[in-house]
Chain A
């Protein structure tokens, strides 16, 4: 080959490589940036007076006198709104039928919207769902709800060739000429006084239980559940995986049965995770009865099966890659095979084995499908160590999915969902970081 052609080939290969790396870095940034920014929003936000009132009622946190005073001030700011509503209500009662027909349903709608924004006027924290007891706790959500109060949402279907287009028309226009008209201006002008937003760092988000299925509170049960599940999976998968890898690398030889076994293990790594989930349900719960129903134990076992092939194959490669000289040296001073494996081969293979663990740990922590049928529930208390044997648990990946799709108020609590994604990413990154540091230490010790 011409030297010029060779150079061009070399350069194009390296530039394609560089391009791939840059592309990956950019997509990672694009992917992680909203996760981080909006994830922060879950615990660093502008909290309203409603938030502080909720924290006081539900968690007993905050300066009670200060909050009561603040609530009273907010109440004062809200009074004109409530008065206008009362006046209009009595007007409506005595009005003629035409007036009633025009305004009755729109007024009812307005009252619902107002209550969503400001909370019920008469507070009764014992009876209704907690979410019905308070107005908007976050200033960003309050802005959205204010918009709902100020504008009527409708759809325009006049052009049949198009999907309906959304139209916002000011509610003030609808109520023009009635006693309610000034309400909208007052609301828009005084909303800060009514809500009293203040920068809030709710760091206990990570350590609180959730209230009213994630409407308020934190994600501690989910974090703990993820922790239990992935650690439990590692607990089962690592010993079995390493022992199997040792067997395959050092004892099995190269029989037909063994190569079949290897093929099976490799194929197992490619089985879709939902299949593992169904298998876990059918085998661990319905057949072996490790627990009566979903439990952390069953979930851990299922996840362990899922990551076992990765651990086996990677550990086997690591063991095979140990220089033959180590083994010979050990045998030549009279070490038994078993002792050679334990004292010489495994320590030398440890960086590779740890790599396999890192990969599988991240996978176990993030998998959703295997735990749907075996371990995960949407809402739960944080589990104690002994409860893992028979209790299901919430877990981050499942609850992210759940909040994104199945929760009855998906739109209201997006921030919690982002907080969970952020936490899951952070947890996996931190677990990986720890493993990488340990591996670096071992590698350094091995290299001298």
Chain B
């Protein structure tokens, strides 16, 4: 296990497992994700990386017969303890999905949806939040004149940035991204990657990706998952140059996966 001096650990997993029925999709994973950095999770399909990600905001709860074991702590708070308010948890853990999924509402309503359900009613404050979020998501200049338009009228890449803006509008502590660029064209992908670089430092970002170059480009740390196990977790540069594990090396050099 590596230590990153000067950085506080925000998310800590300790012997953390997730089961779909009797199938153990994530197996006794232990890792510490430091605050303010971009951490990517790579691995072949079905390795449990998405399951792990969705465990952080307990999105897996929506799947019947899915349960978790072990400890997963955010800021010291065990997420799977009895009595955790899942709704408040999801407010502190933002998520961006593989396919852009804006609501069929106006751009403004999409961004203000989160703040509004958490009690912000004042129109001018909402407008401020919308502008700030859109600026952070590098979308403001493109949409500032048509905030009332339906979000589904945007291009795929714009929609995905809108989804990022929607997620950061509720000021989450950590931002989860589940292959956020896999449904986009190369130009949109590189904009998303630029955006992740901009958000680095402001938010702790945990990103799952199929694309190893992307992981190498955007992340500080990389975790390699294989068949539900965490194989290796280290600084990205190290994973991609001098991996300690044979399987990691095989995967990143394209021998399987």
Residue numbers of A with Cβ under 8 A of B are 253, 323, 325-336, 339, 343-344, 347-348, 445-448
Q: Do the beta carbons of A328 and B59 come within 8 Å of each other? A: yes
- Given the known inter-chain contacts A326-B101, A347-B104, please indicate yes or no for A331 contacting B90, CB distance below 8 A: yes
Inter-chain contacts of A326 with B (CB < 8 A): 101, 103-104
Q: Do the beta carbons of A325 and B101 come within 8 Å of each other? A: yes
Min distance, Cβ A14 to any Cβ of chain B, angstroms: 32
> Chain B, 88-132, contact with A by CB distance < 8 Å: what is the 0/1 string?
111101110101011111000000011001100000000000000
Inter-chain contacts of B114 with A (CB < 8 A): 333-335
Inter-chain contacts of A253 with B (CB < 8 A): 64
In the complex, which of the residues B64, B163, B170 contacts A334, with contact meaning CB atoms closer than 8 Å?
Answer: B170
- Given the known inter-chain contacts A329-B166, A334-B87, please indicate yes or no for A344 contacting B103, CB distance below 8 A: yes
Q: Do the beta carbons of A334 and B152 come within 8 Å of each other? A: no
Min distance, Cβ A440 to any Cβ of chain B, angstroms: 15
Asked if B46 CB lies within 8 Å of chain A CBs, one says no
Task: Determine the distance from Cα of A290 to Cα of B59 in the docked complex, in whole angstroms.
Answer: 47
In the complex, which of the residues B91, B99, B104, B150 contacts A333, with contact meaning CB atoms closer than 8 Å?
Answer: B91
Asked if B62 CB lies within 8 Å of chain A CBs, one says yes
Q: Do the beta carbons of A448 and B104 come within 8 Å of each other? A: yes
Q: Do the beta carbons of B152 and A343 come within 8 Å of each other? A: no
- Given the known inter-chain contacts A323-B101, A326-B103, A329-B102, please indicate yes or no for A336 contacting B150, CB distance below 8 A: no
Question: Which of A329, A331, A333 has the largest count of B CB atoms less than 10 A from its CB?
Answer: A333
Min distance, Cβ A352 to any Cβ of chain B, angstroms: 13
Closest to B95 in A: A332
Min distance, Cβ A284 to any Cβ of chain B, angstroms: 39
Min distance, Cβ A445 to any Cβ of chain B, angstroms: 7
Task: Determine the distance from Cα of A76 to Cα of B13 in the docked complex, in whole angstroms.
Answer: 109
Q: Do the beta carbons of B117 and A325 come within 8 Å of each other? A: no
Inter-chain contacts of A329 with B (CB < 8 A): 97, 101-103, 163, 166
Closest to B116 in A: A343
Q: Do the beta carbons of B150 and A325 come within 8 Å of each other? A: no
Q: Do the beta carbons of B113 and A448 come within 8 Å of each other? A: no
Q: Do the beta carbons of B87 and A336 come within 8 Å of each other? A: yes
Task: Determine the distance from Cα of A56 to Cα of B166 in the docked complex, in whole angstroms.
Answer: 71
Task: Determine the distance from Cα of A331 to Cα of B176 in the docked complex, in whole angstroms.
Answer: 14
Task: Determine the distance from Cα of A326 to Cα of B97 in the docked complex, in whole angstroms.
Answer: 11
In the complex, which of the residues A331, A332, A348 contacts B104, with contact meaning CB atoms closer than 8 Å?
Answer: A348
Closest to B101 in A: A325
Asked if B57 CB lies within 8 Å of chain A CBs, one says yes
Residue numbers of B with Cβ under 8 A of A are 57, 59, 62, 64, 87-91, 93-95, 97, 99, 101-105, 113-114, 117-118, 149-153, 163, 166-167, 169-170
Min distance, Cβ B137 to any Cβ of chain A, angstroms: 14
Inter-chain contacts of A347 with B (CB < 8 A): 104-105
Inter-chain contacts of B59 with A (CB < 8 A): 328, 331-332
Inter-chain contacts of B150 with A (CB < 8 A): 445-448
Q: Could you name 21 residue pairs across A and B whose Cβ atoms are closer than 8 Å? A: A326-B101, A326-B103, A328-B95, A328-B97, A328-B101, A329-B101, A329-B163, A332-B167, A333-B94, A333-B117, A333-B170, A334-B88, A334-B90, A335-B113, A339-B117, A344-B103, A347-B105, A446-B104, A447-B150, A448-B104, A448-B152
Inter-chain contacts of A332 with B (CB < 8 A): 57, 59, 90, 93-95, 97, 167
Min distance, Cβ A274 to any Cβ of chain B, angstroms: 42
Instruction: Give the 10 A-B residue pairs with the shortest CB-CB distance, closest first.
Output: A448-B150, A325-B101, A334-B91, A448-B152, A333-B114, A332-B95, A448-B153, A446-B104, A334-B90, A329-B101
Q: Do the beta carbons of A448 and B151 come within 8 Å of each other? A: yes
- Given the known inter-chain contacts A448-B149, A448-B153, please indicate yes or no for A334 contacting B101, CB distance below 8 A: no
Q: Do the beta carbons of B117 and A334 come within 8 Å of each other? A: yes
Question: Which of B89, B95, B101, B150 has the largest count of A CB atoms less than 10 A from its CB?
Answer: B101
Closest to B176 in A: A332
Inter-chain contacts of A448 with B (CB < 8 A): 104, 149-153
Q: Do the beta carbons of A335 and B87 come within 8 Å of each other? A: yes
Inter-chain contacts of A343 with B (CB < 8 A): 113, 117
Inter-chain contacts of A348 with B (CB < 8 A): 103-104
In the complex, which of the residues B93, B94, B152, B163 contacts A447, with contact meaning CB atoms closer than 8 Å?
Answer: B152
Task: Determine the distance from Cα of A164 to Cα of B121 in the docked complex, in whole angstroms.
Answer: 84
Task: Determine the distance from Cα of A205 to Cα of B246 in the docked complex, in whole angstroms.
Answer: 91
In the complex, which of the residues A327, A335, A446 contacts B117, with contact meaning CB atoms closer than 8 Å?
Answer: A335
Task: Determine the distance from Cα of A327 to Cα of B113 in the docked complex, in whole angstroms.
Answer: 13
Task: Determine the distance from Cα of A323 to Cα of B100 in the docked complex, in whole angstroms.
Answer: 12
Task: Determine the distance from Cα of A326 to Cα of B166 in the docked complex, in whole angstroms.
Answer: 13
Task: Determine the distance from Cα of A328 to Cα of B167 in the docked complex, in whole angstroms.
Answer: 12
Closest to B166 in A: A333
In the complex, which of the residues A331, A339, A447 contacts B62, with contact meaning CB atoms closer than 8 Å?
Answer: A331
Min distance, Cβ A428 to any Cβ of chain B, angstroms: 30
Inter-chain contacts of A445 with B (CB < 8 A): 104, 150
Task: Determine the distance from Cα of A323 to Cα of B152 in the docked complex, in whole angstroms.
Answer: 13
Task: Determine the distance from Cα of A327 to Cα of B63 in the docked complex, in whole angstroms.
Answer: 13
Min distance, Cβ A442 to any Cβ of chain B, angstroms: 10
Task: Determine the distance from Cα of A205 to Cα of B59 in the docked complex, in whole angstroms.
Answer: 62
Inter-chain contacts of A336 with B (CB < 8 A): 87, 117
Task: Determine the distance from Cα of A343 to Cα of B112 in the docked complex, in whole angstroms.
Answer: 12
Q: Do the beta carbons of B167 and A333 come within 8 Å of each other? A: yes
Inter-chain contacts of A334 with B (CB < 8 A): 87-91, 114, 117-118, 170
